[in-house]
């Protein structure tokens, strides 16, 4: 069943690439050349250039972006969707159909324009030379930004356009940054925060797309291993780790907060772990830590029944140390972090170790167990359907 349901949004249907396929035959090319302005739109040259640019992108766009590109290409070249809706189990076909029909009757000209804008935007993102030349520390990180200053290592989740959703790359980068901060003697404290209006929207649901059905079990195994390593990096981080929750937090970004040493939240932050809505299950050691922090019934309210907490509720339940006013959040957090940074580092490390050692083994066991259960969940029909709903814009939290 899992393989029948899994999604494959391969690049061959993503607009420009399918454009190339569409125009492969001589007849099609001739038709294309004779379509002219009325059949297409006022941006023909730029549209052609955008198609070429799409083929030269170094990184494949996210699947939902591919869907958008596909839909706009169809609308620009064929007009409004006029094909029958694919059957219930043709998930990819339905996603494509829904994306195209979702454009309604916007004109071919407008579709061309949006297609060009998206592709030019993607191409622009691939040349971020200006920020690097602005004198910032050279860094190999792509989706987080790490800065070290005055003994503080700051890890910024840096995909604001996607609400800082965590991709496979980003999980790896966070593990790498924590490992580096733990070994760097110039660092006494680490802080994690988010760019833009969100702290983090949790696991990037695109992590589960673009998978060939036969590769689903491997994807689940690899995901389990990556998640295990990710959570382990938090359990064993030896220095003080502080969360600066600058906005809403979702999923795995909430659960691992239970492994931080202090969590400061703006009064605009919310805390949401919608695992069962997504056909998934608890991770980040939350099945162990949350009941200890807040008691079983309150933990269940979050982990099983998906209750979204305000910052004050999260503080009452012990997940947040202190709620700070949004307008002075950065400044207030900085004061607290600077205080921790100048404390005698060995003393703080020994103190943290004493506390963590009380439950370290149990945390590792909880992590193992949670990852095992999740591996099975990712292969379930419930989970695949929930992710599909997200990408076809039927369901947002
Ligand atoms: C190694 C694997 C380990 C796996 C560990 C498992 C972890 C479990 C979890 O973390 S479960 C939580 C998963 N997260 C979600 O379900 C959140 C999904 N997102 C939303 O519901 C909404 O986007 C929102 C409520 C976070 C924000 O809504 P809003 O309307 O304000 O904004 P948009 O929906 O328009 O979002 C802006 C763009 O960001 C993309 N995006 C947001 N969150 C995610 C995400 N988690 N995964 C992928 N993409 C995300 C969204 O698609 C928009 O992109 P677009 O502009 O290109 O459409």
Q: What is the pLDDT of residues 46-57, one digit of tens each?
A: 888 888 888 788
Closest to 11 (Cα-Cα) out of 77, 68, 74, 60: 60
Min mean pLDDT across 105-114, 178-187, 262-271 is at 105-114
Min mean pLDDT across 98-102, 153-157, 162-166, 313-317 is at 98-102
Cα–Cα distance measured from residue 8 to residue 29, given in angstroms and rounded to the nearest whole number = 28
164 ligand 1 Cβ < 6 A: no
Mean of pLDDT values over 264-293: 97
Mean of pLDDT values over 332-345: 98
271 ligand 1 Cβ < 6 A: no
Strands of 179-305, DSSP E: 189-194, 241-245, 249-250, 262-266, 270-272
**Residue closest by Cα to atom 14 of ligand 1:** 202
Cα–Cα distance measured from residue 246 to residue 329, given in angstroms and rounded to the nearest whole number = 8
Q: How far is CA 213 from CA 6, 119, 135, in A?
A: 6, 28, 45
Cα–Cα distance measured from residue 207 to residue 292, given in angstroms and rounded to the nearest whole number = 31
CA of 163 relative to ligand 1 center, distance in Å: 7
Q: pLDDT higher for 330 or 28? A: 330
CA of 70 relative to ligand 1 center, distance in Å: 20
Among 157, 158, 160, 162, the mutation site with the greatest number of ligand 1 atoms within 8 A of its Cβ is 162
Cα–Cα distance measured from residue 8 to residue 177, given in angstroms and rounded to the nearest whole number = 32
CB 184 within 8 A of CB 239: no
Min mean pLDDT across 118-132, 145-159, 164-178, 181-195 is at 118-132
Closest to 78 (Cα-Cα) out of 57, 97, 62: 97
pLDDT in tens, 16-29: 333 322 223 322 32
CB 337 within 8 A of CB 348: no
Max mean pLDDT range (61-75, 120-134, 298-312): 298-312
Q: For residue 100, give every residue at least 6 positions away whose Cβ sits within 8 Å of its Cβ, in sequence order, or none.
A: 70, 71, 74, 75, 81
Domains and their CATH numbers in the chain? 26-130 (1.20.80.10), 139-387 (3.90.226.10)
pTM: 0.72
Cα–Cα distance measured from residue 380 to residue 212, given in angstroms and rounded to the nearest whole number = 15
Q: Determine the pLDDT at residue 396.
A: 65
* CB neighbour burial string for 227-247, b if at least 16 within 10 angstroms, e if fewer: bbebbbbbbebebbbbbbbbb
Closest to 280 (Cα-Cα) out of 207, 200, 175, 171: 207
Q: 87 falls in which pLDDT band (50, 70, 90)?
A: low
Mean of pLDDT values over 300-304: 98
Q: Examine the pLDDT at 156 and tell me if it is beyond 80.
A: yes
Q: Examine the pLDDT at 64 and tell me if it is beyond 80.
A: no
CA of 27 relative to ligand 1 center, distance in Å: 42
246 ligand 1 Cβ < 6 A: no
Helix, strand, coil percentages, rounded to 5, for the chain: 60, 10, 30
* Phi, psi of 145, rounded to the nearest 5 degrees: -125, 130
Min mean pLDDT across 64-68, 150-154, 294-298, 345-349 is at 64-68
Q: Is the ipTM of this complex over 0.95?
A: yes
**The pair of three-digit structure tokens given for residue 18, joined into one six-digit string:** 């399918």
Closest to 233 (Cα-Cα) out of 166, 176, 170, 184: 176
Max mean pLDDT range (38-42, 208-212, 325-329): 325-329
CA of 390 relative to ligand 1 center, distance in Å: 8
């Amino acid at each position: 069943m899992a393989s029948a349901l899994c999604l494959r949004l391969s690049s061959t249907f993503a607009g420009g690439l399918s454009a190339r396929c569409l125009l492969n035959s001589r007849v099609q090319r001739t038709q294309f050349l004779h379509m002219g302005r009325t059949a297409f739109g006022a941006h023909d040259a730029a549209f052609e250039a955008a198609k070429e640019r799409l083929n030269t992108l170094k990184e494949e766009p996210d699947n939902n972006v591919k869907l958008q590109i596909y839909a706009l290409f169809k609308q620009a070249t064929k007009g409004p969707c006029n094909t029958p809706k694919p059957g219930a189990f043709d998930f990819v076909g339905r996603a494509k159909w829904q994306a195209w029909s979702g454009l309604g009757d916007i004109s071919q000209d407008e579709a061309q324009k949006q297609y060009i804008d998206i592709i030019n935007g993607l191409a622009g993102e691939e040349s971020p030379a200006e920020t690097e030349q602005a004198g910032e520390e050279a860094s190999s990180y792509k989706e987080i930004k790490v800065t070290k200053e005055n003994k503080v290592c700051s890890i910024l989740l840096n995909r604001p356009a996607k609400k800082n959703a965590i991709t496979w790359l980003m999980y790896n980068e966070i593990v790498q940054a924590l490992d580096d901060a733990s070994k760097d003697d110039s660092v006494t404290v680490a802080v994690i925060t988010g760019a833009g209006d969100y702290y983090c929207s949790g696991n990037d649901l695109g992590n589960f797309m673009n998978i060939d059905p036969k590769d689903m079990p491997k994807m689940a195994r690899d995901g389990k291993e990556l998640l295990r390593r990710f959570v382990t990096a938090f359990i064993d981080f030896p220095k003080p780790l502080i969360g600066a929750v600058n906005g809403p937090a979702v999923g795995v970004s909430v659960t691992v907060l239970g492994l931080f040493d202090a969590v400061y939240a703006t009064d605009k932050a919310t805390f949401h772990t919608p695992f069962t809505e997504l056909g998934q299950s608890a991770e980040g050691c939350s099945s162990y830590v949350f009941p200890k922090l807040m008691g079983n019934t309150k933990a269940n309210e979050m982990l099983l029944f998906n209750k979204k907490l305000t910052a004050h509720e999260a503080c009452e339940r012990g997940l947040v140390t202190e709620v700070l006013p949004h307008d002075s959040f950065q400044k207030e957090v900085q004061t607290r972090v600077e205080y921790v940074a100048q404390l005698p580092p060995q003393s703080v490390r020994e103190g943290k170790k004493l506390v963590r050692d009380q439950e370290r083994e149990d945390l590792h066991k909880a992590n193992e167990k949670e990852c095992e259960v999740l591996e099975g969940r990712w292969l379930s029909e419930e989970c695949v359907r929930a992710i599909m709903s997200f990408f076809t814009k039927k369901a947002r939290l």
